[in-house]
Amino acid sequence: MQSAGKILIDLRQAAQQGQTLQQELADDFFEALEQDEIIGGRVCVSLCVKENASECFLLRFHIQGEVVVGCDRCLAPLSLPVDTETVVRVCADDSFVQSDEDVKALSGNGYAYDIAWDIYENTLLALPLQRTHPIAECDADMLTRIAGAEDEEAAEASSN
């Protein structure tokens, strides 16, 4: 099911089976996606798919684990916990997609749907807006460089 940043599932089959799908994702998953926010990590994804009327599906994700991002202050790697539950609506009928911007469309591949980007987006949205180490754990060399650059900018601004 998974290959190079894709996790394809057959929505109709998953809904009919009524089972919760489990997927462990690690650094290689985040590296394969074309994104710069999450450096790596290890998360467990649980997915329950239910089919509604008119070929619409509700995908209930539970994502739990830890991801690595760059610290906003010193840029060094920072591990953050993730524990989030979200619901994504996917429909085969274009009329639902056009009338509701929160509904995603199935492509022409039948009921095959790639959940990789949904996992990434929901993981990213679960992270805090400010991602920093406690100041004592930040990269001291980087903090010194930043402080030096700020001092130079302040001196240049005051001389103008």
- Residue found by looking up tokens 């004592």 in the block: 136
3-state secondary structure of 90: strand
| pLDDT the model gives residue 2 | 46
Q: How many Å separate Cα 101 from the centre of its chain?
A: 19
- Residues 128-139 have a mean pLDDT of 92
| Residue 154, pLDDT score | 59
Q: Which residue has the higher pLDDT, 99 or 94?
A: 94
Helix (H) or strand (E) holding 84: strand 77-91
Q: How would you class 60 by CB atoms within 10 Å of its CB: exposed for 0-12, middle for 13-18, buried for 19 or more? A: middle
**Which tokens sit at 134?**
């406690």
Q: How far apart are CA 65 and CA 26, in angstroms?
A: 10
- For the stretch 58-84, pLDDT in tens is 999 999 999 999 999 999 999 999 999
Given a contact cutoff of 8 angstroms between Cβ atoms, the answer to whether 78 and 133 are in contact is yes
| N-term to C-term CA, the chain | 61
Query: Does pTM surpass 0.85?
Result: no
Give the C-alpha separation, 75 to 150, whole Å: 16
Between CA 120 and CA 71, with CA 66 as vertex, the angle to 5 degrees is 85
Edge-to-edge strands, sheet with 38-52: 20-25, 38-52, 56-70, 77-91, 103-105
Residue 3 binned pLDDT confidence (cut-offs 50, 70, 90)? very low
Alpha-carbon distance of 103 to 136, in angstroms, equals 44
